[in-house]
Amino acid sequence: MDEIKKENKEKNDEKQDNKEIEIPHELPILAVRDIVIFPYMIIPLFVGRDISVKAVEHALNTNRLILLLTQKDFNVEIPEPSDLYSIGTVCMIMRMLRLPDGRLKILVQGLSKARAVEFSQQEGFYLAKIEKIEDIQIKEFTLEHEALVRTVKEQLEKAISLGKNIPPDAMVIIENIDEPGRLADLIASNLGLKSSEAQQILEITDPFDRLNKIREILNREIQLLTIQQKIKKEARDEIDKTQREYFLREQLKAIQKELGDIDEKAEEINEFRRKIEEAKMPEKVKEEAEKQLKRLERMHPEAAESAVVRTYLEWLTELPWSRSTEDRLDIKAAKEVLDKDHYDLEKVKERILEYLSVRKLKEKMKGPILCFIGPPGVGKTSLGRSIARALGREFVRISLGGVRDEAEIRGHRRTYVGALPGRIIQGIRQAGTNNPVFMLDEIDKLGMDFRGDPSSALLEVLDPEQNNSFVDHYLAVPFDLSNVMFICTGNIADTIPSALRDRMEIIYLSGYTEEEKLQIAKKYLIPKQLEEHGLNSSILKISDKAIRYIITHYTREAGVRNLEREIANLCRKVAKFIAEGKTKKFYITPKKVSKFLGAPKYLPEEELKKEEVGVATGLAWTEAGGDVIYVEATIMKGKGNLILTGQLGDVMKESAQAALSYVKSKAKELKIDEKIFSTMDLHIHVPAGAIPKDGPSAGITMASAIASVFTGKPLRKDVAMTGEITLRGRVLPIGGLKEKVLAAKRMGIKTVIIPKRNKKDLEELPKYVKEGMKFILVESMDEVLKHVFSKVKVKAKTQKIAAKSK
């Protein structure tokens, strides 16, 4: 009691001191978030924002007084005056500590309520003119008022008994306070109210109205706490019920055991023992399985660890350790399957038949690691299914696109909650045999982050010398993957890590020609789509010319994926007409295609109508196949600058600079006045400007355009070219020859200039691609210039410009 009296005396003295402190009419503003400060409240605050730090420093340099206003929105980082409540509390900064991270820790005591009337911005903070707000004086303390004070105190005690957390020190002070306003403020500051609700209480100037508001809040809090206690009691009763059922169940098991009834646990153990014997595991794996089975036998069935061991045993016993399918080693039958499913792709088919032939001669051989690289839609994934069908094996496919976690390949360790084997072991279990055709799709799109490098984890999987003992982190025992035939697919080989690429046999699948697409559509796509849409060939017929029209005007791709979509679109339109009863038979010609598919999506590039100076015809490779590009060059008065436009990549820009340097070095031989290079700017443009372009194979095309514009000689429109150029004028080999030749053929260009070192690629082109084409093999740019200039004489504007520049 003496301590309480002493504390009350200190509080009264403190109150008297607060009244004696003179509060000025202008104070700095400190915006606080998610808290409302009441008078006489002592609280530590962390100050980190620049505007707040400067306000505190200003207060410390003057009278240590500061006005604390609460933000209306917690998330506003730099509050304006409109973001703050106008009524707050004038506080005295009692202590201040600078923290190592630059923040301030201050201890403030509320003195009096005040209203911010007018704001003014200073150097980095706000000052406000304030009006002090005094509580309404109580003229008479009635019995009703005394009853309200007692009721609030009783409500607070009840809330504490129901679990409300109020500091004991605060309760001692509350018990000894009879002043309504002070009592209301003290309870409000300890109830943990929302800032908006606490602000409402702060703004009430009548002490009894404020205390009455606290009574309403406490009444609501008691109701909530009562419901909360009820919920906890029901949950506790439910747990007690579960425990009672567990004990009863255990008693029932004991009774069944005494009566000789079947023991479920013993039955489960016996079932696992039988599965372990039937799985025919390797000896080391069997030892691990039996060890885990003994652990399970000793465990209580309801123990958490027993579920982990049970799941692990299920994985071990369900994996096909000794189950395999017998290969269909009939070479002719396999060839028929491959030919039936895919048109052309002779290299790939030949490789599969070679594998079957070796497999027929040697029973035990390691599975090859094939990797199909090619643009989308050329049949890489479907080819894997055909290989599985030809071999008579199960087929499993997983997509590696976007996989970033090494555990996706190797699995998680059993110590993790919810651990599972990696996708390789999951795929083997899905196949049910240990020698499926396993397709790893989109291997060029593997990712890597802090969780590990999946491509490194695949090194063991795809290495024929190591994968006979592949260890998954979850299984922790080796599994033989040497019988699996792995097939990887990707769009480009460059993004596959070199160590991983070294373990694979890469087979490139180039795009299809128009003739090949026509045959694929007739033999595969149209029959498939007719069946899927409930049609047949007697109802819908598509002419060859219509198919060609769809290929050239509605698709632009290396594969046939979009072609199949357009044929499906056509079938849907026809099915709609038939369902409406309009007609029963359709014959699609090129003129009728636009009626069903709308206006053509693509218009082929027009061939140059006349031979021009500075316009060279080049050939480019794209993901959608080959394309013809026109490199344009022109000169104008300037200072010898080189201007490049058309969204060219760095490699292509460097090719242009190398081409210009070559032409400059050959100025005398080409009869070009050397002064023109310093008095003229050269501009090279490659349409279409909206499409990014890169690669070195446009080198000789750019050099031809530059030589043409400086000599004033026109270039032949019937000659297309491709090749990389060096500073010395050597022509280096390029890739994608088949696609580029096909692009030239589509445009009606019969003569193509290619590097001499691409002769080997030329020999591998199909006969129908080379038919009617003339190929000029060159080793240097000098040879190129002998074939590209036209014999038609054009008035040379360049020579006139050169003469004027002198």
What pairing do the DSSP bridges indicate for beta strands 126-133 and 437-441? unpaired
Whats the size of the chain, residue-wise? 806
For residue 500, which amino acid is it?
Answer: L
- Across 570-641, where does the E strand assignment appear? 586-588, 615-622, 625-637
Burial environment of residue 283 by CB neighbours within 10 A (0 to 12, 13 to 18, 19 or more): exposed
The pair phi, psi for residue 53, each rounded to 5°, is -60, -45
Cα–Cα dist 783/645, whole Å: 28
What pairing do the DSSP bridges indicate for beta strands 680-685 and 478-479? unpaired
Contact call for residues 148 and 180 (beta carbons, < 8 A): yes
The pair phi, psi for residue 483, each rounded to 5°, is -85, -10
- Catalytically active residues, by annotation: 697, 740
The secondary structure element, H or E, covering residue 520 is: helix 514-520
Distance from first CA to last CA of the chain, Å, rounded? 112
If you compute the radius of gyration of the chain from its CA atoms, what whole number of angstroms results?
43
Helix (H, G, I), strand (E, B) or coil at 266: helix
The pair phi, psi for residue 88, each rounded to 5°, is -145, -155
Calculate ∠ Cα 80-85-87, nearest 5°: 130
Cα–Cα dist 42/111, whole Å: 10
Cα–Cα dist 129/484, whole Å: 83
What pairing do the DSSP bridges indicate for beta strands 751-755 and 774-778? parallel
Instruction: State the CB neighbour count (10 A cutoff) for residue 402.
Output: 10
Cα–Cα dist 263/254, whole Å: 9
Spatial CA neighbour of 213 closest among 161, 166, 165, 148: 148
Helix (H, G, I), strand (E, B) or coil at 363: coil
Classify residue 522 by its DSSP letter: I
